[in-house]
Structure 1
């Protein structure tokens, strides 16, 4: 399965690797190789990391902590202390190395550095009082995204997946009612 990066922040995109947390969730990161592919596909992270089962468990722990903290922010409730500890501890890890070359920016590091970068990205987002976080408006989607639209009117995590589904369902309902 291909990964979707529509949340506006890599930490939220990591949290979005569980599709529909209501009902029957689908986890896109079930094997270390899934995590390696996700990190390679995510902008702003080292692209050649290796993962084992222990690293996968660390990444999943970070993912769940980031999701819970983002949901706390969306629901305007205090941050969960255990999740804060996980994110803060992960952020204290090593940072990726960046290099400038003729072809652009290159980032290198191991998986711990990638997870540290994700935790830092999440901290910066969650600490920003002006960041408008929302949960997708499609009932089956639980992805949390950063709404940067004019007037904060964005209703779905992404138009391709969720927005089109909602609009198509509304169109079918109108057609059904017209008949």
Structure 2
């Protein structure tokens, strides 16, 4: 009789241990993600986002570069890169995204710009997390990449992306350092769809 009970006892111990491991695993995954955005707002995410609306083209590109593009359910029509972004529903233009379309997309997180005041006003207090990640420096861009890596559980991919950008910047510096100051060309970037724009506030 004792021998018959022993296997069932061992099986019970094994299942108990598996249950403990699963509980610990779920507990670790359930830890909230807490960070501060560019507006100084403390954001707390109880879990990794599953439905993302990105109203900032640069953020959209970064999310795709981190391998999380399949989570994006909304963009502006200014987000044209990478090519896969063309399949994502359009929420409107960069300066005039539709709050109604955004809410219909059912996002759990929205990345927005300070210029999109209609979105800020109408979506304030909604169930989705509103996150601003604007910056005016390369160092700030790196911080945002690392932060997006944390938000989407893509920390390793974020480090790889930052390393690639740093390598490209070093290569550009190595090439331009050889050019005398007087011979260097000044560059102006023109962009836009409905009107002409240039990066920067000046």
Calculate the TM-score normalised by the size of structure 1: 0.28
Ranked by relative contact order (alpha carbons within 8 Å, sequence separation 6 or more), the top structure is 1
Q: Larger Cα Rg: Structure 1 or Structure 2?
A: 2
